[in-house]
Structure 1
């Protein structure tokens, strides 16, 4: 069954692992939030571009300079950006789901360890 000290050491390790997982999940949620905002902004730009006439002047900000850009090219660029961001969001969702499953497994094993420690301590108290 293992000594109390071994179980407590194992508990400490698993708790540290859980803490790392939780930080990783939080970091991924932050990145996901950033991409969600970017997706919304790009979808808004696409709606604006779709309302323009073919001969409308479109400018792109490159550094401090506004550069004239072809409407079709601007449209294609925004669509590519939306595709990329959507793919990143999908990938992040998968990563977050995996991490959360690992987190749940870790929590479960921590609870079982705590119960074993408690049982061992209760047994020693009776002795």
Structure 2
């Protein structure tokens, strides 16, 4: 009788861990999407910086603010883009560390699930022999 309780408890534990793993995988996917967005923004800003570097010092630079183009100083535009690149790069590094941690936790959760599955199989094999 006790083996059926243990079996039921293990099955419930396995189900809970599977649900937890599913949530974890969604969190990882969400953060990968965010990382992709930042990577695209970084590429766009690096391209803008290259374009700004090609301009003469007296060139007119305009920034789109809502529906209006506003004239901006070249040095100010350059500084703004560099700050944006710095910020995005820092966010990418932070996200990479976060994702790496999540993936480590995911591997631990998978290992725990495998151990529970092995225990379940050994209990079921013992019942089959009996």
Name the TM-score class by shorter chain.
over 0.9
Q: TM-score, normalised by structure 2?
A: 0.96
Alignment of structure 1 residues 1-127 onto 2, 5 Å: 3-127=6-130
Q: Alpha-carbon deviation of 1:125?
A: 1.1
Q: Cα deviation per residue 1:1-26 (whole Å; 9 max; x = unaligned)?
A: 97000100110111011001100000
Q: Cα deviation per residue 1:54-76 (whole Å; 9 max; x = unaligned)?
A: 10000000000000000000000
Q: Alpha-carbon deviation of 1:121?
A: 0.5
Question: Counterpart of 1:66 in 2: which secondary structure?
Answer: strand
Q: Cα deviation per residue 1:71-116 (whole Å; 9 max; x = unaligned)?
A: 0000000000000000000000001000000000000110110000
Q: CA RMSD in A?
A: 1.0
Gapped regions of structure 2 (runs ≥ 5): none
Gapped regions of structure 1 (runs ≥ 5): none
Question: Counterpart of 2:64 in 1: which secondary structure?
Answer: strand
Inter-partner Cα distance in structure 1 for 2:23 and 2:86: 31
Matched length: 127
Inter-partner Cα distance in structure 1 for 2:28 and 2:66: 34
- Give runs of ≥4 in structure 1 deviating > 2 Å: none
